[in-house]
Amino acid sequence: MKLVSLNIWGGKISDPLVVFIKEHALETDVFCFQEVLKGGTGKTAREEMKDCYERIVGLLPGHTSYFSGYGEGGYYSESLKGLDFDYGVACFVKKNLKQSLVGSVTLYDLGTKWNDYDGGFAAGASIAVNVAGHVIVNVHGLWQGSIKKDSEARFEQSKRILSLASKVTGKEIICGDFNLEPDTKSIGMIEGLPTRNLIKEYGITSTRSSHYKKPLRFSDYMLVSPEVDVVDFKVLSDEVSDHLPLYLEFK
């Protein structure tokens, strides 16, 4: 099977993103997307497509779609209330595969006070789908400004991701935009499941495209349990977002 994980940046680079999805639609069994907008029309103040979920559904008629929203506070560039769209993570799974929704979870609680952070949170959600005996967990980790290091909130985030992954028995694949540096204890908690961190194992030096101007080049991860038979893993070069797509082929 083949899986692609990508933070689509709200579909801001819409035409290349459409081409990318079309090119990979037939061969890709599972797409895991982050920063997906659903249910609106037009564009946001950040030039995101408010109906990019619906557009992707139209591009993938052979896939079943799953969506989970970030909840109130998950969107950090416009008013936190009264938005005319939902904002979240989405999975698209080929219809010919045995599959079921495991569940979803938000990775933060609005109003919670943390000893090591008093700023705003955004994003923070995960959705899990069981596909042919593989528990695929699609993650978009907490945004805390430009901070991508450990915090109490991110330790809680890792606990929630692990709890979601363990809801059913199967080979685990945990992927997405974690908003974390690779040497954090928060990533280490996921590695301790145990999982193989393919970003480290394959010597990946960046998961960011040229559209991302900040120096930190890590944000996205692919972690798999030892039982997953990895055939190939790589970061694709397609410039369709400020993130690069992660590609996994497995048995």
CATH number where 72 lies: 3.60.10.10
Cβ neighbours for 221, distance < 8 A, ≥ 6 positions apart:
174, 175, 176, 178, 180, 182, 187, 190, 197, 198, 199, 207, 246
Q: How does pLDDT run across 2-35, given as a tens digit for each residue?
A: 999 999 999 999 999 999 999 999 999 999 999 9
**pTM of the predicted model as reported, rounded to 2 decimal places:** 0.96
Domain span at residue 129 reads 2-250
Number of compact structural domains in the chain: 1
* Torsion angle defined by CA atoms of residues 141, 192, 5 and 42, in that order, rounded to the nearest 10 degrees: -10
In what side-by-side order are the strands of the sheet with 63-69? Answer: 63-69, 86-94, 30-38, 2-7, 246-250, 230-235
Please give the pLDDT value at position 79. 61
pLDDT tens sequence across 103-139: 999 998 877 889 998 787 888 999 999 999 999 999 9
Of 31 and 46, the structure prediction assigns the larger pLDDT to 31
